[in-house]
Amino acid sequence: MNDLGLKSDGEDFVRMHSELNEFLFRETLAGRSVVIFIDEAQNLTDTVLETVRLLSDFESADKKLLQIVLAGQPELAQRLSRPGMAQLRQRIAIQARLDALTAAEVVHYIRHRLQVAGYRNTELFTPGALGLCYSRSAAVVAFFLFLDHKQSLQTAGLSSVGSFPRVRRFRDLLWRP
């Protein structure tokens, strides 16, 4: 609630619930959506997942006032399929799964992220290094997001690594400050 600019310190649950409901209704009237994005949701306890379910109850006569996005590893789907999660599962409007990237998508993604980070020189990765990126990562998007963050920092000159040598081996991708 603090992140929304609402007072929550020392407030009782009923008062916080009322303040949040009023806030969500005002935002809806103003044409704005309020979205809570929870990453790594597979790590939430059952108690926290129950709280998420209760948050999904905020609604007007014709629409939900709060959108909730749960993102996580495949274990999240397994947890939500348990019998004790039936009420939360019933409130999920869309369930999606990201498939692993193809080899061509991996190459395109790496090149694109380097360009976004400002890298404009010759090809940074050898074809062999790109192939290893694909095979060693199992083309899982989260792995590329980690590499993307580290490589983007280096590319943008935000690290203590002086030069940015051409990557030839998979182990060269490891972060070395």
Burial class (CB in 10 A: 0-12, 13-18, 19+), 35: exposed
- Are 14 and 48 in a shared domain? yes
Phi-psi region of 157 (alpha: psi -120 to 50; beta: other; left: phi over 0): left
- Are 78 and 30 in a shared domain? yes
pTM for the predicted model, two decimal places: 0.63
pLDDT at 30: 93
Residue 110 lies in a domain: yes
Residue 97 lies in a domain: no
- Are 137 and 63 in a shared domain? no
Handedness of CA 19, 24, 25, 26 (dihedral sign): positive
Decide: 56 and 89 in contact? Cβ < 8 Å.
Answer: no
Range of the domain at 57: 2-90
Residue 59 pairs with which residues in a beta bridge?
64
pLDDT, tens digit (0-9, with 9 covering 90-100), for 139-172: 566 555 545 444 444 444 434 333 334 444 434 4
- Dist CA 105 CA 41 (whole Å): 26
